[in-house]
Amino acid sequence: MKPALEKHWHHLPQAEVLDLLDTEMDVGLDRFAVADRQKNYGPNALTERRGQGPLLRFFLQFNQALVYILLAAVLIKLTLGKWVDAGVIFAVVLLNSIIGFLQEGKALSALQALSRALTTEATVLRSGEKQRIDARELIPGDIVFLVSGDKVPADLRLLQVRNLQLDESALTGESLPVEKQAGVLEHDLQLADRSNMAYSSTLVTYGTALGVVSATGDDTEIGRISELIASAEILATPLTRKIASFSHILLYAIMGLAAITFAVGLWHGDSWIDMFMAAVALSVAMIPEGLPAVMTITLAIGVSRMARRNAIIRRLPAVETLGSTTVICSDKTGTLTRNQMTVQEIWAGGENYSLSGIGYAPDGELQYQGQAVNLDSNAALPELLRAGLLCNDAVLRNESGGWKVEGDPTEGALLVSAAKAGLDAQQIQTTFTRMDSIPFESEQQYMATLHAGEPPFVYLKGSVESLLLRCQNILLANGESRLLDAEAVLEQVELMAGQGQRVLAFGRLDVSPGTTEIDHQDVSSRLVFLGLQGMIDPPREEAISAVRACQAAGIRVKMITGDYAATAAATAAAIAGQISLDETLIVGDNPQVLNGTELAAMTDAELIDAVTGTAVFARVNPEQKLRLVEALQVHGEVVAMTGDGVNDAPALRRADIGIAMGITGTEVSKEAADMVLTDDNFATIQAAVEEGRGVFENLTKFMVWTLPTNFGEGLVIMAAVFMGVALPILPVQILWINMTTAVLLGLMLAFEPMEKGVMQRPPRNPKTPILTGRLIARIVLVGTLLFAGAFGLFGWSLDNGASDEQARTITVNAFVVVELLYLFNCRSLTKSMFQIGLFTNPWMIGGAASMILLQLVYTYAPPMNNLFHSAPIGVMDWLRIVAVGLLIYLVIGVEKSIWRRRDAKSTSEPE
């Protein structure tokens, strides 16, 4: 049984809070307490709200206009005593409902799996060790660390706070971030006024904090009012909504045609019962009932394929929009590059040093002019390396997969550079204990740490600009200091940045004895400048080919970096030689670059004019990303934007495709994004675009395949009624055709591999209709030929002595054979199946073989003859059926060949 922890935590002193929760701030819970409490409290998760039960979801499958028509037909058949016909029609309705129920269940399971894949993590202190765990494992009494960008994983009583601000809009509706503190508050305070509490599902927008878990799961405030955040994600997209709308319009049109058919039949003197069944047959024939199901399955297959290629789709519309992307704005670090920063050059005491080795492995050495260096030769050198080691929150570990950094890659590079120079990180960190720190924030552009010493001292690292504003002197090689020459430092920065390096500056400040805390004011001046460390992040090899593939597909790639302007230009120049960011925007060796300062000075109109002619955006803050997205969209671009920070959320939401980083991204950015990259790799974006194009193409292929059948069936029914002859196909037979071919033939197009040229075509205009004029003409052509062939075979068979059952069996088989052969034609909208490979889709071969076997059973098995009014037919009948199918296949092959020649001629003609 779960122990009760109903307390007014905000009103209790810290010591009492810790005592009640039986935990220690400096140690946390031990593993025995963790195991015991996890049994008592269970997982830190909200109990899933009960949605529609399975029985209700099943009965809702019958809530469709088409089903109502079929059920009415069942009742009429029962009234007339035609039990077999009624049973067959009802069995088809039941089967269709079961298939829909199972598909919906799979969709819900997929969404639940996606929810599990995007779990929240938390940083906790257990047994005195800092750990990163799944937030579901949190229990009351856990000590939790919060940093900017985190989602608060449980209800916390704050113990230590530094400039903490939370977005509590999901809980309180307050639109602005709320400042937090750690003191004791009055007893009778509303939830929104409890400033020493951090509540589950709120977001850290600024600062850091340490807190103790006071409630988890359903006991949290968000758990008590879960209606605020409970939402059912609907498996619907713009495309599926268009299809639904199309189906409704088609339904009304068919109902009108059915009424006309009914009236014409009565005018001919036919019975109203026969004409009602003819009207039902027409309705069943012309509605593509398998279309919505196949759409959903095709989208789900696309999402599954993307997941296998490290792209998790959070919102299904992204699958469609990806195929239309025209511009990708990508962060440089970790996406286009390896995200394994490597220090290559050090400037200390007026001298330049180099470091060998690449990556996080501390293999290499510190060199001066190609020779190994003794640290004693330059007093500024060990001080600079020590600053990089201590003013650092990263951890370097040697794990089974190699050396890895927990934390910021830039800080990881500083740890590696110190290790290469021979510094013992553990010894130095023990000797100079950290007493306080100022975390890095984008607004300040630096981080500072206070360390024990005689006297205590502060190390500060950050951008060159922020350090130069705060430094007064510079440390020389002989250990003395003199007045800082900012121009000399900037000259050195330009040289290092010109080689594509990211440059960090370092400073030191001795403080008064007894100092235990620091703030921004304490480090605003009087620092001693220690030197520079320049590092690079080499491009990913796979990103090189991915960018080129995007450019071949008509997609332009723009690089966004927070690097120093000169660094950005040089880095882009270095990468551009291999990646070719935007060949049209690279002049000589230098791409066109805009920095954040220039962007800030631009009006919206000026930015709109400049944005298309720029390949690299340097020193861009998250707010400026939003302006870039909006400026590109003014030009009609479909923009994909990457982001990983808290403040990237507006740009990610505004972009047509927001892309968050799965490894380095904050919870805020992931929630704002449409897609999450589990490997933070640009090549995954290219793969997702490719899959998006493939999914849309397969959906189009299915529509081009299925609609001619419905059109042809409808023409056959209407022609028979208008001509006053027997129906060539009965309603149960139409249901047989539509259901079996949709499952065994049409669905196979969802598994069709992407054609080779899918990434050599320009992006699809999202305003373009699903079916172009050329495809509509093909649908009409195939439907008309199908009508002529089926109706002709029916009439010819009757004229040559066949019974009604045999003639109808021939008609049904004609529809199926034509659909089967036309299916292979639809594997490509422009090429023949021999050009794309006959056996490249084994699902297609299996489906066709199953369909042929099923038709033989339909034709020759006595039970099927009784159920569907079919009859055995002869070999010559089959030959005539196959001849009609081959003729239609050849006609469409010629039609595609004509269009290929016209397209080739139009592209070869000079403009």
Which residue is listed with tokens 């920070």?
Answer: 645
Is 36 noted as a catalytic residue in this protein?
Answer: no
Residue 137: count of CB within 10 angstroms of its CB: 17
Residue from 152, 162, 144 nearest 212 by CA: 144
Q: Are the CB atoms for 201 and 151 separated by under 8 Å? A: yes
Q: Can you say whether residue 442 is alpha, beta or left, with left for phi > 0 and alpha for psi between -120 and 50 degrees?
A: alpha
Kindly list the distances between the CA atom of residue 198 and the CA atoms of 124, 176, 183, in Å, as whole numbers in the listed order.
15, 15, 13
* Side-chain-side CA neighbours of residue 402 (13 Å): 6
* Max intra-chain CA distance, the chain: 115
CA distance 703 to 710: 11
Instruction: Map 534-546 to HEC letters.
Output: EEECCECHHHHHH
* Encoded amino acid at 561, one letter: T
* Side-chain-side CA neighbours of residue 786 (13 Å): 32
What sign does the dihedral 366-372-376-377 (CA atoms) show? Answer: negative
- Return the ∠ at Cα 350 (arms to 344 and 353), rounded to 5°: 25
The two three-digit tokens of residue 784, written as one number: 């008309």
Q: Are the CB atoms for 554 and 762 separated by under 8 Å? A: yes
Find all residues with CB under 8 Å of 807, minimum gap 6, and list them.
728, 793, 794, 797, 798
Q: Are the CB atoms for 549 and 518 separated by under 8 Å? A: no
CA distance 195 to 831: 66
CA distance 797 to 775: 33
CA distance 391 to 438: 10
CA distance 187 to 208: 25
CA distance 908 to 39: 72
Q: At what angle do helices 272-286 and 238-267 cross, to 10 degrees?
A: 160
CA distance 189 to 208: 24
Q: Can you say whether residue 216 is alpha, beta or left, with left for phi > 0 and alpha for psi between -120 and 50 degrees?
A: beta
Q: What is the rounded radius of gyration, in angstroms, for the C-alpha atoms of the chain? A: 35
- 464 exposure class (CB count in 10 Å sphere: 0-12, 13-18, 19+): buried
Q: Are the CB atoms for 893 and 825 separated by under 8 Å? A: yes
Which residue is listed with tokens 């149960």?
Answer: 732
Is the N-terminal amide bond of 455 cis, ω within 30° of 0? yes
- Backbone angles phi and psi of 502, in degrees to 5: -90, 130
Q: From start to end of 316-356, where are the E strands? A: 327-331, 342-348, 351-355
Q: Are the CB atoms for 593 and 559 separated by under 8 Å? A: no
Q: Are the CB atoms for 644 and 330 separated by under 8 Å? A: no
Kindly list the distances between the CA atom of residue 648 and the CA atoms of 205, 447, 621, 884, in Å, as whole numbers in the listed order.
11, 21, 9, 59
CA distance 667 to 135: 12
Catalytic option among 331, 563, 648, 877: 331
CA distance 402 to 397: 8
Q: At what angle do helices 842-860 and 731-744 cross, to 10 degrees?
A: 160
Which residues are identified as catalytic?
331
